[in-house]
Amino acid sequence: MAISTSASRVSLPSQCRSDPAFSGATPRPNGARFSPKLGHASVKRPFGTSSLILRFPPNFVRQLSNKARRNCSNIGVAQIVAASWSNNQPLSSAAEGKAVEAASSSAVSAPISVGEDVVNSSKNSLGCCNGSDSVQFEAMENVRKPSFLSGDGSLAIHAGERLGRGIVTDAITTPVVNTSAYFFKKTAQLIDFKEKRHASFEYGRYGNPTTEVLEEKISQLEGAESTLILASGMCASTVMMLALVPAGGHIITTTDCYRKTRIFIETFLPKMGITASVIDPADIAGLESALDNHKVSLFFTESPTNPFLRCVDIELVSKLCHAKGALVCIDGTFATPLNQKALALGADIVVHSATKYLGGHNDVLAGCVSGSTEIVSQVRNIHHVLGGTLNPNAAYLIIRGMKTLKLRVQQQNSTAQRMAEVLEAHPKVKHVYYPGLQSHPEHELAKKQMTGFGGVVSFEVDGDITTTIKFIDSLKIPYIAPSFGGCESIVDQPAIMSYWDLSQSERAKYGIMDTLVRFSFGVEDYEDLEADVLQALEAI
């Protein structure tokens, strides 16, 4: 490593923490991610989670005058002291004095650590990052998961933030960066950016420091190389399909799925010559037939599905699709990254409506696409053209919501399992759909690929549409609303909430009976929810 205090270079053998920052990357204009390089060294980005973290002596800041502290980013004083300290070499009083003096007078900038974040504003006399006076750090191998974070609950809290947040602050919470554009100090710096020598988001549609923290947090939970956050779950699904399925391509999907997704596949994609095969989630023979008879680009389904919570054998489906050159995308919204790791099971992409469990508080809309950098970059390219950008304030809400993700999901898993068993035994309930029940057609598969079965239970009331309406209206705790996965319990009658524009016979084609109820259990006390459901059933 080297630092320039004049035209010459001085060796700087400083060290990094044993647990480096979470990996991250700066957005390229074409949607990929990169670490800008100069010669054989890497220029560290001014934001992003791969910044180098230098260790300072505990009393370092107190040793500097206020004036020197205000100006220490203009010279390498931080690195000079840190390098000496990290090598266990005491800094002499004379050297310290020279460093402080230089800090208050020099105009050459260098990285300085604030808390646990680092910013690098190195530039030459033209304001560029490619001159001989630039501070250059050797590239370091990224470690995606620090050794002290072993569980998903810890990752949901700290991933993308502790030890690697790309925003210079000593605040525990990630700040909201409300900006629509990013400026360049000189035209030469803009040219450096265009030629990949300077890192910047450039424009709000291409990225945001707050949003990037959220993307890294989700990547850590999913075990993904990269994540793209978008304005809604539907935005994530549709942009993903537009990016990965060529004109004239073919998609395989399943019979049970979110209705708006089906509408997009059946109504919009045909305008680009894209056709689709629709199979039962468990129909492996149908999958093989579709793969043999079509040039399939993508297999896309939910697992569990909406609203019947069917499960797809992700490992088997992935093997069959990959053998034919098709990608596999799993919508894991019902499962959450805590209950199911679709990428580890063989899927190429996992999407979520972050509106649901990730946000967890019924107060924000968002969606995300996770997978390899190569695949997500293709989606990112289209996203930069179409828009659908998530506001950084919304990103902050999801970051905050994810800190309680494990606690919420554990409670919802437990409540849903117990309530599913109560409902299945109740004489006024005809059928219950929940992967945690032995009666579920994919129960054994769910046990194999899930660690929990989620907080949504669908069931059919014994009666007709009027009976079902009376049951729902008799409930006191849940809200009658769409969506799921929040702290508050939500209940809806799909025949009315999602399919009311279709006739009864048309609804039946999709298995949507008038007596079907979808109940999303929140984090209320189980005893209160059980009592409420039982009294509502007694009312019919």
- 507 annotated active-site: no
Cα 439 to Cα 387, 421, 431, 452, distances in angstroms? 44, 10, 9, 16
Q: Which of 355, 328, 356, 357 is nearest to 344 (CA)?
A: 328
Out of 356, 408, 507, 518, the active site residue is: 356
Quote the tokens at residue 227.
């994540």
Burial class (CB in 10 A: 0-12, 13-18, 19+), 197: middle
The H-or-E segment that residue 10 falls in is strand 10-11
Quote the tokens at residue 477.
């705790």
At residue 298, the 3 state secondary structure works out as: strand
Out of 331, 348, 492, 514, the active site residue is: 331
Out of 205, 259, 428, 470, the active site residue is: 205
Helices then strands, counting H and E runs in the chain, come out as: 20, 20
Quote the tokens at residue 484.
């799921």
Which ranges of 313-463 does DSSP label H, i.e. alpha helix?
Answer: 314-323, 336-339, 373-386, 392-402, 405-425, 443-449
Q: Which of 486, 415, 493 is nearest to 461 (CA)?
A: 493
Burial class (CB in 10 A: 0-12, 13-18, 19+), 540: middle
- 205 annotated active-site: yes
Out of 182, 258, 499, 510, the active site residue is: 258
Strand-pair category, 349-353 with 327-331: parallel
Gyration radius of the chain over CA positions: 27
Residue with tokens 């994530």: 236
- 430 annotated active-site: no
Residues in the chain: 540
The H-or-E segment that residue 68 falls in is helix 66-71
Q: Known catalytic residues?
A: 205, 258, 331, 356
